[in-house]
Amino acid sequence: MGVGLAAGSVRVRYLVYFQYLGTDFNGVAAVRGAQHAVGVQNYLEEAAERLNSVVPVKFTISSRTDAGVHALSNAAHLDIERRSGQPPFTPEELTEALNTHLRHPAIRVLQAFRVPSDFHARYAATSRTYLYRLATGCPRPDQLSVFERNRCWALQADCLDVAAMQEAAQHLLGTHDFSAFQSAGSPAASSVRTLRQASVSPDPASPFVLPQESRKLQFWSLEFESQSFLYRQVRRMTAVLVAVGLGALTPAQVKAILESRDPLGRHQTRVAPAHGLFLKSVLYPDLGSAPMQPHAPSESTAQKS
Residue 292 resides in a domain? no
Q: Are residues 81 and 161 in the same domain?
A: no
pLDDT of residue 276: 98
Q: Are residues 198 and 279 in the same domain?
A: yes
Q: Are residues 101 and 231 in the same domain?
A: no
Domain boundary among 82, 115, 148: 115
Q: Are residues 52 and 150 in the same domain?
A: no
Alpha helices of the chain — where are they, by DSSP H?
Answer: 40-49, 91-101, 162-172, 211-214, 233-245, 251-260
Q: Looking at 66, 79, 203, 286, which residue is catalytic?
A: 66
Residue 121 resides in a domain? no
Annotated binding site for substrate: 130
| Strand, coil or helix: 169 | helix
Q: Are residues 66 and 174 in the same domain?
A: no
Cα-Cα end-to-end distance for the chain = 32
Q: Are residues 105 and 53 in the same domain?
A: yes
Q: Are residues 134 and 237 in the same domain?
A: yes
Q: Are residues 108 and 164 in the same domain?
A: no
Digit-by-digit pLDDT tens for the chain (305 residues) are 444 455 667 899 999 999 999 999 999 999 987 566 699 999 999 999 999 999 999 999 999 999 999 999 999 999 999 988 899 999 999 999 999 999 999 999 999 999 999 999 999 999 999 999 999 998 887 888 899 999 999 999 999 999 999 999 999 999 999 999 998 777 778 999 999 999 999 988 777 777 766 668 899 999 999 999 999 999 999 999 999 999 999 999 999 999 999 887 777 778 999 999 999 999 999 775 444 444 443 333 345 56
* Measured distance CA(69)–CA(28) in Å, rounded: 9
Residue 294 resides in a domain? no
Domain boundary among 80, 115, 150: 115
pLDDT of residue 124: 97
Q: Are residues 203 and 275 in the same domain?
A: yes
pLDDT of residue 8: 67
Annotated binding site: 130
Domain boundary among 93, 115, 137: 115
Residue 216 resides in a domain? yes
* Measured distance CA(181)–CA(159) in Å, rounded: 25
**pLDDT tens string 100-131:** 999 999 999 999 999 999 999 999 999 999 99
Residue 273 resides in a domain? yes
pLDDT of residue 213: 65
Residue 303 resides in a domain? no
What's 77's domain CATH number? 3.30.70.580
* Measured distance CA(110)–CA(100) in Å, rounded: 12
* Measured distance CA(58)–CA(81) in Å, rounded: 12
Residue 291 resides in a domain? no
Residue 58 resides in a domain? yes
H or E element at residue 283? strand 277-283
Angle at 130 between CA 180 and CA 115, to 5 degrees: 115
Burial profile 144-174: b = 16 or more Cβ within 10 angstroms, e = fewer: bbeebebbbbbbeeeebeeebbbbbbebbee
Contact 280, 197 (CB under 8 A): no
* Main-chain dihedrals φ then ψ at residue 153, nearest 5 degrees: -95, 110
Contact 232, 182 (CB under 8 A): yes
Q: Is 142 annotated in the active site?
A: no
* Nearest alpha carbon to residue 78 among 109, 38, 35: 109
Domain of 100 in residue numbering reads as 2-115
Strands (DSSP E) found in 21-69? 60-61
pLDDT of residue 24: 94
Q: Are residues 75 and 199 in the same domain?
A: no
Total domains present in the chain = 2
What's 169's domain CATH number? 3.30.70.660
pTM score: 0.90
Q: Are residues 245 and 97 in the same domain?
A: no
Torsion of CA 2, 113, 65, 187, to 10 degrees: 40
